[in-house]
Each structure stands twice: as structure tokens, then as C-alpha cells.
Amino acid sequence: MKKRVGVAILGLGVVGGGTYKTLVSHRDFYLKTQNVDIVVESVLDKNRERLQELGVPEECIANSIAEVVTNPAIDIVIETIGGVGIAKEFVMAALKEGKSVVTANKEMISKCSHELERIAKRNCCGLYYEASCVGGVPIIRTLLDGVQANHITEMMGIVNGTTNYILTKMAQEGKDYAEALKEAQSLGYAEFDPTNDVEGFDSTYKLSILSSMAFHTKVPYTKVSREGISTISAQDIANGQDLGYTMKLLAIAKNSEAGVEVRVHPTFIPSEHPLAGVNDAYNAVYLRGDALDDIMLYGKGAGAFPTASAVVSDVIYAATHSEIKYSTYKNTAAAEGDVKFISNFSSAYYMRLFVEDKTGVLAKICGIFSKFGISIVKIMQKGNTRNENGRLPVIIITHKTNENSVKNATAKINASGLGTVEAVIRVEA
Ligand code: HSE
């Protein structure tokens, strides 16, 4: 017998609208292929124009969250509002009434999944969030049902399309950051206030969700070390290209006996690395498992229909699976007490300096590196364009060292009068 499942959609913005259209246009297809009749029973959005534009029938328009969550015809509530205010309030109301929730909300899941999951468990309903990370790319289902045979030891992802678009334009067209950002805004990739994307918050939320799942331990978003792309110069991107590197904003998670390392920052990767070819607004996640070796998932990380694809796949999953699965780890606000987070992580580094043009200056700077145990792979003068103080540009590539040593060496050089460190970029092999 065909199963009938009623859904409600909260918020008909870009993703909610794409979800509504997908559910309505594919209803017969899901009936035929999944043996389930998914019916949009109700939508909640204050914007009447938007409701009209999408052709939502009058009888499906709800006036309040209470009306939605007390409707016995609704089994699953889809939240596509975003943020943690009203969205969290509505999701909690739905879970308390025993409705399973499907959400695209990375900030809410990253910050509050422990609270929401507790309510879901108590009320025997599910909480699904494939669309919260990497849009249409099924990374969460892959972690849950595809690679669970493995100890995942490493994950590196380009999980934010806006920043990837900006960095691609800077690399391919030599645009500076402000120009590339403006273009991303005019195309609708970047928001009017781009902080959430360009300063790495969006990637941080996603990395906290994905690494918790990959490593089966809670990784609070506050443990993710974060640096955005707003201070990156086209010059450094071009210098990296000359050295065989491509710059990406990477979300990196590593799990070893030494501890868990989670960080988001602009990174140089070898230009032949699979992630280096992920351009424009595309996303990709590269995973390493002990049995699997490496895999990479690639696709659109944002947009109405790619994200709706993830939302609807969760709806279908929830509608066709009676057993509800929750986190494989202890989902609490804080990390488990015995998990060590490594903030002084190891990496190779690219450093750009302006140095005094005097005999012995480079020897003294190399002495500072040596004092902090940093071994240099390459040191080169890059062009003859002096800065306003008459200093010359020098690039240094280090062997693997650690974050604190580089910070200490940078402070020492800046205080020495020998030169200034203008840029520090981590290099991943
Ligand atoms: N703003 C995000 C991005 C999409 O640029 O990738 C939603 O997470």
C-alpha cells in the first residue's frame, strides 16, 4: 500500500521555494519510485507575494506555527528560515509535537543540535540536516551510510561557494578582493553583508557538523580555528601560482592519536591536488578513511534546487524509514572531556615579507627562523618593487612547523627593524 506523508514548509525563501517547487513537480515521480505520496499540506511565510508567485493554494497557507504543528495531517516539518532565532523556536515546537524535522540550517544545527536532538528523542521523531552542509552534495548521507565502515582520519573541504567564487576570480583574472567580492554580490552569491561567508563563519558551522559525524565525537563550532579571506591579496595568490600552489578557503579536520584538529583558513594546496580544480561557486569534500583511502564528493553547495535536492532526499528518507537514527556520538553542548583539541597544529607555511635592503639582513632573518626551530625550504626575492619604506619583497616557504613557532617568529621579525611579515598562509601537501 502506498504511504501518504504530509509535510509543512516553514520559510519560502530561495531554498524553501526550491523545495516547494521540487516536491510539487516530483510528487508523481516519488509515488512511482519511492512508493510514498509526499503532499505539501501547509506552508508558513508572511510574504503573500512570494506565496502567490509560487502558486501556493490558499488552503495550504498557515497563519501560525501552532496551526502547523498541531495539524494531524503533517508528519514532517521542513525548516528553511535560517539563523537561530525564530527558526529554532519553530523547530522545537514541531519536535515537541512529535513531527520529524528536516532543516537546511547549518548555524542552528552547529550551535543547537544537542538540544534539538534531545527533544526529538523524547518525542520519538527524527532530525535530519543533509542540506545544512554543502548543499546538493550528499556528504551527510555519505558519512552516515556510505563510509561508516571506516575510521575517518582526515577531511578537507571547500564548503563555501561564495569564497570559492571570489578566490577563483582573484586567481584566474587577477582581480583584487574588493572587486571579486563586488562581482560575487552582483551575481547573488555573496550577501550585502558578506561577513558570514568571507570571514569563515559559514565554513566553521559546516566543519563542526561534518567533523562531529566523521569522527563520532562532538566537535563544538567554538573549537574550530577560523580565518577568512578578506585580507588575502591578489599578489599572494599569484605568487602561490608561480610556486605551483592554488589558494582555497579550506575546512580541515584531522583525527589522530594526538587529538582532533579543526580549522578553517585560506590555504595553498598543490595545483595538481583534486581540490585545486574545484572552481567558481562549486564545493567539494575530500575524505580519507582507513579502509577506503581517499574519496572526493563534488557539486553545487548552494542554490534553490541543489539545496532542495538535499532537503527532499531527507524528507524521502524520513518518510520511508521507520527506525530513527540519532547521532553516533554523545551529542552535548561541549566536547567529551577526554578529547584533546590541537590548536598549535603543524603545517608548512608561505610567508611574504618586506625586508631592509642591507647586507646581512636575510642571514639575520634566517637566524630568527632557526631560533624558533623553523626550517626553510625556499627563500627568494620576488621582484624589485620596493614598498613605501624602500624595503624589498621576499618570499619564504617553510618545512612543516607549528602555528606558535610561526607566530613567535613573525612577532620577532616585526619587532626587529629588519623587515615586516606581510602575509602568512598555511600550505597543505
Ligand atoms: N552561503 C553559502 C555559500 C551557501 O556561499 O556556500 C549556504 O551555506
Question: In this structure, which residue's CA is closest to atom 4 in ligand 1?
Answer: 302
**Atom from ligand 1 closest to the CA of residue 160:** 6
- Does pLDDT of 1 surpass 90? no
Rounded to an integer, what distance in angstroms lies between the CA atom of residue 397 and that of residue 353? 11
How far apart are the C-alpha atoms of 392 and 160, rounded to whole Å? 35
CA-CA distance, 170 to 231, in Å (whole number)?
Answer: 12
- Contact 75/7 with Cβ under 8 angstroms? yes
| Pairing, β 127-128 against β 100-103 | parallel
In order of 86, 232, 251, the CA distances from 177 in angstroms are 34, 7, 20
Amino acid at 157: G
Q: 81 is written with which cell numbers?
A: 528560515
Nearest alpha carbon to residue 254 among 276, 229, 223: 223
Give the three-state DSSP class for 295. strand
Closest ligand 1 atom to Cα of 191: 1
Other Cβ atoms within 10 Å of 47 Cβ, number: 12
Question: What pLDDT, in 10s, does the model give residues 33-92?
Answer: 999 999 999 999 999 999 999 999 999 999 999 999 999 999 999 999 999 999 999 999
Q: Ligand 1 centre from 189 Cα, in Å?
A: 8
Ligand 1 atom with minimal separation from the 189 CA: 5
- The chain-wide mean pLDDT, for the chain, equals 96
- pLDDT of 2 reads 73
- What percentage of the chain has pLDDT greater than the value 70? 100
For 204-260, how does the pLDDT look when each residue is reduced to its tens digit (9 = 90+)? 999 999 999 999 999 999 999 999 999 999 999 999 999 999 999 999 999 999 999
Compute the average pLDDT of residues 373-384. 90
pLDDT tens-digit profile of 95-114? 999 999 999 999 999 999 99
Residue 404 binned pLDDT confidence (cut-offs 50, 70, 90): very high
What cell was used for 260? 582532533
Evaluated on CA atoms 330, 333, 338, 343, the torsion sign reads positive
CA–centroid distance, residue 184 to ligand 1 (Å): 12
The pick from 168, 169, 197 for probing ligand 1's pocket by mutation, whose C-beta has the most ligand atoms within 8 angstroms, reads 197
Reply yes or no on whether 382 is catalytic: no
The set of protein residues with a Cβ atom below 6 angstroms from ligand 1 is 106, 160-162, 197, 202, 301-302
Q: Where are the beta strands (DSSP E) in 271-391?
A: 282-289, 293-300, 346-355, 376-381
Of these residues, 206, 218, 248, 254, which one is catalytic?
206
State residue 395's pLDDT score: 97
Kindly provide the b/e burial profile for residues 306-327, where b requires at least 16 CB atoms within 10 angstroms of the residue's own CB.
bbbbbbbbbbbbbbeeeeeeeb
Assign 91 to helix, strand or coil: helix
pLDDT for res 208? 98
- Angle subtended at Cα 328 by Cα 327 and Cα 329, rounded to the nearest 5 degrees: 90
pLDDT band for position 384 (cuts 50, 70, 90): confident
User: How far is the C-alpha of 207 from the C-alpha of 107, rounded, in Å?
Assistant: 11
Is 223 within 8 Å of 211 (Cβ atoms)? no
Write down the pLDDT at residue 429: 81
Q: 130-161, pLDDT tens digit by residue?
A: 999 999 999 999 999 999 999 999 999 999 99
pLDDT in tens, 294-310: 999 999 999 999 999 99
Query: Measured from the CA of 165, which atom of ligand 1 is nearest?
Result: 5
Residues in the chain: 429
Q: 101-110 burial string, b = 16+ CB within 10 Å, else e? A: bbbbbbbbbb
Question: What are the pLDDT digits (tens) for 12-24?
Answer: 999 999 999 999 9
C-alpha 160 – ligand 1 centre gap (Å): 5
